Amino acid sequence: MSGSMQNIEPERIPVAVGLVFDSENKILIGQRTKPDAYEGKWEFPGGKIEPFESADEALCRELWEEIGISVNQTNHFMTFDYDYPDRKVLLYFRLVNCYEGSPIAREQQKLRWVQLSRLGEFDMLEASFSVIEALVKRYG
């Protein structure tokens, strides 16, 4: 190597994301409260996967911590990489139809149950767009 530094690609952050539905087929979204470039944006609940966790384990932990529900079962929906200007993420989207409890805002975030057809009315995180499109195609 001739004295030049290699461009090191930042590591992808693995994130488990819950597509939580209620009995009326509405989906749960929350508004970000974390002070960063995405504060105020709407997103599906979830969070970072720790090195010792599977996507399912992380999602169960995150949904308990964030919204106080106990997840009984999740099913794979889709997985993909997304590059934000300041971070690269690997998103594991899981369907959550079977859970105990009623979602509550444990992190003082706003929560909304929304018809799939109305998600476009919310300022969602950009990585959500292709998932929303796939959800609408599959579930109308």
Instruction: Identify the CA nearest to 101 among candidates 61, 72, 59, 58.
Output: 72
Instruction: Indicate if the alpha-carbon torsion angle 139, 123, 109, 59 is positive or negative.
Output: positive
Instruction: Indicate if the alpha-carbon torsion angle 28, 34, 37, 39 is positive or negative.
Output: positive
CATH superfamily of 13-139: Nucleoside Triphosphate Pyrophosphohydrolase (3.90.79.10)
Q: Can you give the residue ranges of every domain in the chain?
A: 13-139
Per-residue pLDDT tens digits for 115-138: 999 999 999 999 999 999 999 999
DSSP string, 50-77: PTT--HHHHHHHHHHHHH--EEEEEEEE
| pLDDT for res 35 | 82
Per-residue pLDDT tens digits for 9-60: 668 999 999 999 999 999 999 999 878 789 999 999 999 999 999 999 999 9
pTM above 0.75, yes or no: yes
What average pLDDT score do residues 52-74 get?
A: 96
Burial of 7 (C-beta count, 10 Å sphere; 0-12/13-18/19+): exposed
In the predicted structure, residue 4 carries a pLDDT above the cut 50: no
| pLDDT for res 18 | 98
